[in-house]
Amino acid sequence: MTNPKDDLGKGFVRQVTRENFDTLRHLLRAPGAPTGAVAVGGIAMKVEAPEVTAARALFKGHGVKVPNWFSPAVGTASGSGPIPTQGPMGAPAPQSAHAPVALPSQPVWSKTLSKTDAQRQSGNKTGDLRLIKADQPIDQKTFFRFAVFGELAWTTEPHGHEEATGTFDVTILGTHHGVLPLTLSHRPRGHADQENYTTGLRWGSLAGLLRSQIDVTKKQLRLYSLPNTAPADFAIEIV
Amino acid sequence: MLPYASARQRSLAHVLIEELDSGKWTRFRAAVAFAGTSANTKELVASLRSFAAGGGEIAITFGADAFGEEAQGSEALAVEQLLNDLHAYPTARVFLYHEDGRIFHPKVYLFDSLDRQAALVIVGSSNWTRSGQIENVEANAIVPLNLGRSGDLEQFKELDRCFVEFWSEAT
């Protein structure tokens, strides 16, 4: 009889061949075809296609839970409380493979979110968080691109702007949403004042949530840079 | 270390091709987060095919994480190209890693020859993309291991275990 602990972390890899590729390809990126964000009742909802579900089902294992070695001290500025058992609007709380990371004592940047940041402005939603000075002693034209996110792998896109993707441990109003990949966009030649920002953080898979379920207008966003031992590059906390 | 090395023809792509063609190694394994078609250059593919044709074992594991509205993750076409290019060689295998809630994010390239008691580990920031292997400012440590020395052997065993137990599937 095998000990389940012997299987920890195993079972998440499959050999891909020409014979089974059509089954597994749904987990891979088709150029120019973003994953299934479809309109349901006028609201953009992310719906997983059946073939994706079937492909994901092939990967079964006992995941390794990363211990939260560095618990924040009681009363720190992190403000992170217990994970609620219910999510917004009575929906179940999002499932996350990790506990929220222990946050450093000080964020590298913070901002009170505008309606535009919160994806609640009228008209077209921007899909991103504008990274601006926000009353802090920084040069927003360089601070985010070269200081905060400088270690990410930036690529220059066809239109001249740069992009990089980092991993973010995200907690919104006390609910932990796990570690998510989020993409940054930087326009090197752009102007950068409060109205015309140079660097933005795309909400990615969180955009729909912010648009339709959680209103974070006027809430404070805190951005943390995490140590190399953490399970994510950065943390975002909205309180 | 390989920052700015492309200008001197020492990008990661150059190193991979050079090592595959060197005749020194019997096995090439890689565990890489993202795969892009741009990395499947005819030169690299030719070296992979030649390596496999000579009996060399190839095992490449890519992350299968298609996530977010930006649709990040390995390109299906990149994996399909490699499958087609290496189809004729039974010693060449490609794997996909997918774990809900966790991103497959290593960039490790490992050559070894147990007969020669030698290995070469390349670990750093380069994905299996042209930008990661050639164009970006990336940093990769290239670490030769002497498997006749206990310290190096222990390092190799630890990495080998990751490939065997976690990043490949027994066939």
pLDDT single digits (tens) B15-38 = 999 999 999 999 999 999 999 998
Instruction: Give the distance from residue A135's alpha carbon to the nearest chain B alpha carbon, in angstroms.
Output: 30
Instruction: Give the distance from residue A100's alpha carbon to the nearest chain B alpha carbon, in angstroms.
Output: 13
- A82 — pLDDT class (breaks 50, 70, 90): very low
Instruction: Give the distance from residue A119's alpha carbon to the nearest chain B alpha carbon, in angstroms.
Output: 15
Of residues A62 and A35, the one with the higher pLDDT is A62
Q: Is residue B8 less than 8 Å (CB to CB) from chain A?
A: no
Q: Is residue A155 less than 8 Å (CB to CB) from chain B?
A: yes
| Interface predicted TM-score of the whole assembly (ipTM), two decimals | 0.91
- A237 — pLDDT class (breaks 50, 70, 90): very high
- Flag if A63 and B102 touch (Cβ within 8 Å): yes
Q: Say if residue A29's pLDDT is above 70.
A: yes
Rounded-to-integer distance, Cα B103 and Cα B167, Å: 13
User: Which CA distances in Å does B22 have to A12, B53, B148, B169?
Assistant: 33, 14, 21, 27
Q: Which residues of B touch A167 (CB under 8 A)?
A: 103, 105
Per the CB < 8 A criterion, the answer to whether A44 and A208 are in contact is: yes
Q: How many CB atoms lie within 10 A of CB A230?
A: 22
**Domain span at residue B30?**
6-166
Whether B1 is in a domain gets the answer: no
Two tokens, residue B21:
């063609």
Q: Which residues of A touch B87 (CB under 8 A)?
A: 18
pLDDT in tens, B86-101: 999 999 999 999 988 7
- Flag if A21 and B83 touch (Cβ within 8 Å): yes
Q: Is residue A99 less than 8 Å (CB to CB) from chain B?
A: no
Instruction: Give the distance from residue B19's alpha carbon to the nearest chain A alpha carbon, in angstroms.
Output: 24
Tell me the one-letter amino acid at A56. R
Which CATH number characterizes residue B24's domain? 3.30.870.10
Per the CB < 8 A criterion, the answer to whether A4 and B160 are in contact is: no
Pick B71's closest partner by Cβ from A34, A96, A208: A34
Per-residue confidence (pLDDT) for residue B19, from 0 to 100: 97
Q: Is residue B67 less than 8 Å (CB to CB) from chain A?
A: yes
Rounded-to-integer distance, Cα A15 and Cα B167, Å: 10
User: 3-state SS string over B59-86?
Assistant: EEEEECCCECCCCECCEHHHHHHHHHHH
Q: Say if residue B12's pLDDT is above 60.
A: yes
Whether B171 is in a domain gets the answer: no
Q: Which domains does chain A have, with CATH numbers?
A: 4-56 (no CATH), 106-238 (2.40.330)
Rounded-to-integer distance, Cα B24 and Cα B43, Å: 19
How many domains are contained in chain B?
1
